[in-house]
Amino acid sequence: MGKIFLTLQQIGKAIMLPVAVLPAAALLLRLGAPDVFDIAFITKAGGAIFDNLPLVFAAGIAVGIAKNEAGAAALAGVVGYLTMTAGIATFDAKLNMGVFAGIISGLTAGILYNRCSDIKLPEFLGFFGGSRFVPIATCFCSLVFAFIFGNIWGFFQNVIQAVSEWTVEAGMTGVFIFGVLNRALVPVGLHHILNSFLWFFCLEYTTESGIIATGDIPRFFAGDPTAGIFMAGFFPIMMFALPAVALAIYHTAYRENRKKIGGMLFSLAFTSFLTGITEPIEYIFMFLAPLLYAMHAILTGLSMAIAYKLGILHGFGFSAGFIDYVLNYGLATKPLLIIPMGLCFAAVYYTIFRYAILKFDLKTPGRLEIVAKNIAENSNADNKTEDEYAKTAAKILNLLGGTDNIKDLTNCVTRLRVEVADEKKVDGDSIKKLQKIKGVITNGKAVQVIIGTDVEVIAKEIKKLR
């Protein structure tokens, strides 16, 4: 199970790199739209990303998988994707693997880079050795994949279409299940894999220019009037409900500690509201009160179902925060209903969390002296100097077992993703006590350290020490 978790963790991490491109593409697409600034070349520039999303995934995932994020892997991913899709088309021009073809090509290129980038060939073939060998190997592997998928993808394409249609036809039940699973997988960082299916594989929409958009996000930005059912329900949760959790934690803190934690909680709440990044808040109560987190997952599913029932359709290029809400307002259906719906969810979340914290004496920030002290220190994180980041990075590295125990270290938006040689050398309890650390998840040799939006800075400092 540890190996499976580690593999899925690596895939989930790799997917985040191409996904990070989407906010920029969505921004260009909307700013140039007729209902905003009406500048055609800006819209076309943003649309080009969505039109070539499988190619973006092929290059981005290859870099995400490859050690040292090597550029040669990206080239190999592109070569693999072009080779495979061209080969598949000769079997049946109607076959469309979409983003999945990009994912397969990216994974192949990244794995081959890690295994073959140091290969040495006979002297007369020396020019083709090392990293130059990777695109060549990927090309030949892609020919094999083209033959395999060219013969079997028709069946899987029909299955995916059927599952997608069932999910949509299931209506409230389908979106409810997706909403629950989306939050339920956050603790282990595997929600990106689930998201990818519905956001990038589910159903197709052909634009007037003949471009095929696949998945809820591309279809939404391509103008599909039915897209957005797998995104709209997240806006009330991320913009209103989770900030209300932060308010409940503040109000239930001991009065003398409120000033110490106020800045930190405001920062977390504002981040969730503005950008839709929710993990820093969720990790405050995720392990402290698992039943509350389970309720949070169910309520997220309920929000998805209610949004569907009300006919609300909205979408995002990054996450369901205020920026995407405003930016994509012109493409949405009944977007104003999100505000009263969000306020209702905020009231429900505040009431539930305030009651649970007081009733069960949960030791949320501000309700335990040592916790309040640590949070107060964390609230000054924005003022950290580079030296302080370096010190934090050194402590994390040491508690992970030192340089020799780190086989691989990367990061996504809010967490370090680490593969260790010996999990027994990892002192997770001590890592949790460090400043800025929201939580630690270990599963065999796979370790995740949840930090927040400062994670990239700390990751760079750790890599310097290695």
Residues 6+ apart with CB under 8 A from 349: 241, 242, 244, 245, 248, 296, 299
Q: How far is CA 414 from the centre of its chain?
A: 9
DSSP state of 413: S
Q: Is 213 helix (H, G, I), strand (E, B) or coil?
A: strand
- Cβ proximity of 250 and 338 under 8 Å: no
CA–CA separation, 270 and 263 (whole Å): 10
Q: Which of 249, 221, 274 is nearest to 44 (CA)?
A: 221
Structure tokens of 457? 């800075």
C-beta separation of 448 from 189 below 8 A: yes
Q: Quote the CA–CA distance of 306 and 309 in Å, as a whole number.
A: 5
Check residue 130 and report its DSSP letter: G
Per the listing, tokens 């009037």 go with 225
**What letters, b where the CB count within 10 A reaches 16 and e where it falls short, cover 434-456?**
bbbbbbbbbbebbbbbbbbbbbe
DSSP state of 313: B
Cα 242 from Cα 259, distance rounded (Å): 20
Question: What is the H or E stretch that residue 205 is in?
Answer: strand 204-206
CA pair distance 22, 25, nearest whole angstrom: 5
Catalytic residue among 116, 139, 202, 412: 412
412 is catalytic: yes
Instruction: State the alpha helices, DSSP H only, in 117-223.
Output: 133-169, 172-184, 191-196, 216-222
Read out DSSP for 66-121? SGGG-HHHHHHHHHHHHHHHHHHHTT-TT---THHHHHHHHHHHHHHHHHHTT---
Any alpha helices (H) in 337-410, and if so which ranges? 338-359, 369-378, 386-399
What gap in Å lies between CA 410 and CA 398, rounded to an integer?
A: 16
- Residue 442's DSSP bridge partners are 447
Residues identified as active-site = 412
